[in-house]
Structure 1
Amino acid sequence: MNLFSRLANLVRGFFSLFVTGLEQQHPEIAYENAINTMIEKYNKLKNATAGLIRLREDAADRLQKAQAQQKELSAMLEQAMATGQDDLAVELIERKDAVDADIASLQAELEAAEKDVDTAKTALTDVKGEIGKLKAEKDRMLAKMQSAQARTRINDQLEGLSVDAELRALENVRTGIKDTIAKAKLGDELRESDLDTRLNALKASSSKATARAKLEAMKKDRAAASDANRTI
């Protein structure tokens, strides 16, 4: 194989891959190509069948003429024998024998032509039926494909209505709220650890201790006064 042949095969291979991909994306093209091919085959077969019918009609016509000649020769032979014209009768017999042989050959030819026509007509019917089936299959399969494509589009739309995005946005809000609360707690904790806060707490504690001491002293004074009254 030379370089040009290899390049031609490579181009045909790439073109075949391109056509195959195109037909997969657009199956109606593949169906149309197949249907058109079948129709072309049907038309060629139809023309061939017409040719076979012409051959059959030609054989039938020649057979009819030979049979007419056979009858004519038979009649002439009877007349020659009736009139004693033996030499003419011999000639007529020879001619009639040749015609009889032609008739046998033409009958065989006509039978073969009729069989060929019947076979071709059957093939025509089969191809026509296949074209009808292919057209029906095309309509059915394309309808299924369109239905599947519609379902796919609806599923894609349903997926687009998912609440995942909204939930993610709400989660961000929740995180922001938690961060705000954490910052507030941090401020409280920082204030509790502040020196002024600690001093104020210490003052409050000292004030309470002084109040308790006064309370204890008042209790003692009251108890002493009560004892003095009982002594008197």
Structure 2
Amino acid sequence: MFKRFANLMKGFFGLFVTGLEKKKPEALLELERENLRKQIAQYNQGLAAHAGLCERLITQVNKLETDERELRAKTTALLRVNNREAAGQTALRLQTVQRELAENRTQAEQAEKTYQELRRARDVAIKNAQAKIEALRFSLDDLKIKKATAELNEMAAGMITQIGGSGDTLARLQTLIEEERQSAAGRARVARDSLDISGVALKEAEQKALEEQALADFAANEGITVQSNQAPEKPEEGGSTKTMGPLKE
């Protein structure tokens, strides 16, 4: 029972972490870069230790080669002076050195070969990891571009929908304006039809008649002959007819 509960908690925690990773892929990518740097540093430490072993073996081989030369020369010199006992001892030591030298040479060659293989494997692993990281970075940048493009498209679609919706409002406004315009035209027509044009014309005729009468009375009082709808005529010079304005001498 406890194991099932633990598995359930692990599942919930895994879903939570997965959600965080989806929200922050840049942070996850940076974490992988940091992990790669740490792994490379640890690998280099092990590689450095192996390189130190190679150097110790090479140093040991060089020392044994020197010992071999010295023992060979010493054995030859003792044998020439017929010191067989001492020559036998140095010859025995020479054989031991030669065996150790052969073993150390083999170990040094294998260690150097292993070092080169490890270094090559490190370089290949680093290149593969860097290629994967670069591919992920490119994919992440492409994801950002696609998300931005999708948001712009959704925004444009929303704007188009809003513009299309405002067209209904404009249509209703145009209908209301047209109705008001027609109503105002109808009211103007009704007011024009209800206006008594004949009374206006009669008043206008009466006004003109009064003006003509006043003008006739004025001309009669002044002794001016006035023709209908014409300017008053001036009398001849020397006559007894009165004229408007001062008399000429």
Shift of 1:142: 2.5
Q: 1:141 to 1:88 in 2, by over 3 A?
A: same
Contact 1:77–1:89 (CA under 8 A) maintained in structure 2: yes
Contact 1:35–1:135 (CA under 8 A) maintained in structure 2: yes
Question: Counterparts of 2:4 and 2:26 in 1: how far apart (Å)?
Answer: 32
- Give the TM-score normalised by structure 2: 0.63
Bigger proportion of residues as helix? 1
Q: Flag the structure with more relative contact order, 1 or 2, with Cα contacts below 8 A and sequence separation at least 6.
A: 1
* CA displacement 1:18-72 (0-9 Å, x = unmatched): 2222222222123223222222221111111101100000110111111111111
Task: Give the 5 Å matches for 1:133-148.
Answer: 133-148=131-146
Larger Rg: 2
Shift of 1:139: 3.4
Question: Counterparts of 1:62 and 1:100 in 2: how far apart (Å)?
Answer: 12
Shift of 1:170: 4.8
Shift of 1:7: 4.3
* CA displacement 1:174-219 (0-9 Å, x = unmatched): 8989xx9xxxxxxxxxxxxxxxxxxxxxxxxxxxxxxxxxxxxxxx
The SS at the match of 1:161 is: helix
Match of 1:92 among 90, 93, 97: 90
Q: Residue type of the partner of 2:33?
A: I
Question: Counterparts of 1:91 and 1:10 in 2: how far apart (Å)?
Answer: 76
The SS at the match of 2:82 is: coil
Aligned to 2:238: none
Q: Over aligned residue pairs, what C-alpha RMSD do you find?
A: 2.7
The SS at the match of 1:84 is: coil
Aligned to 1:54: 52
Aligned to 1:208: none
Aligned to 1:160: 158
Question: Counterparts of 1:35 and 1:28 in 2: how far apart (Å)?
Answer: 11
Question: Counterparts of 1:15 and 1:89 in 2: how far apart (Å)?
Answer: 78
Q: Residue type of the partner of 2:46?
A: A
Shift of 1:105: 0.6
Q: 1:174 to 1:42 in 2, by over 3 A?
A: same
Question: Counterparts of 1:8 and 1:67 in 2: how far apart (Å)?
Answer: 64
Shift of 1:145: 1.8
Question: Counterparts of 1:61 and 1:10 in 2: how far apart (Å)?
Answer: 59
Match of 2:67 among 66, 69, 94: 69
The answer to whether residue 109 in structure 2 is matched with residue 111 in structure 1 is yes
Match of 1:126 among 119, 124, 127: 124
Aligned identity (percent) is 23
- Give the TM-score normalised by structure 1: 0.68
The SS at the match of 1:164 is: helix
Question: Counterparts of 2:96 and 2:73 in 1: how far apart (Å)?
Answer: 16
Shift of 1:167: 3.5
Match of 1:34 among 29, 32, 35: 32
Aligned to 1:185: none
Contact 1:62–1:106 (CA under 8 A) maintained in structure 2: yes
